[in-house]
Amino acid sequence: MSMHDDVKYVLYSEKDLQEIVNRLGAQITKDYQGKNLLIIPILKGSVLFAADLIRKIDVPCELDFMVVSSYGNGTETTGKVIIKKDISVSLEGKDVLLVEDIFDSGVTLIRLKEELLKRNPASLRLCTLLDKPDRRRCDTIPEYIGSQVPDEFIIGYGLDYAEKYRNLPYIGVLKPEVYEN
């Protein structure tokens, strides 16, 4: 049985994703001209998106990573944000761009943003590949949004269910019978 058999339907093909990344990269390039850009992808989910996005940003930038969790192995956020790996550089005076795979409840990124603002960056913006507004539990909206998605369990292109399906080359909806067992 293939992992593709667990996909209910494909939301974004590889070509769709490439178009989204190109658009976001062009906008970020324009907005960060002459800035001191530090890109911080939130691992693990954003790894594929961030790798593609960074190659489309045509301004000098630094790169560091964070690992943050609020889901565990479930399909709902626990509301408790845990920083598992912090960045290794100072944010002082830098223009920080947090890169995330999906913005749904907003809990994880808002708590993380609050923490990072204490470190005195020159600016701090959020970039998300996917936005799930039906699940929002905060007023914040990321400055850069790839696309909105329905309130279904999304996998692929870095997004996972219980650490699996990240390696799908597209974004799809996971069949409910996979996670309801």
The b-or-e profile of 124-149 (16+ CB within 10 A means b, else e) is bbbbbbbbbeebeeeeeebbbbbbeb
Distance CA 111, CA 114 (A): 5
Which residue of the set 104, 134, 139, 151 is catalytic? Answer: 104
User: Cis peptide leading into 175, omega within 30 of 0?
Assistant: no
Catalytic annotation present for 5? no
The strand ranges marked E within the chain are 7-12, 37-43, 61-63, 66-69, 82-85, 95-103, 123-131, 144-148, 154-155, 171-174
Cβ neighbours around 106 below 10 Å, total:
23
Alpha-carbon torsion, ordered 62, 66, 71, 74, to 10 deg: 80
Catalytic residue set: 104
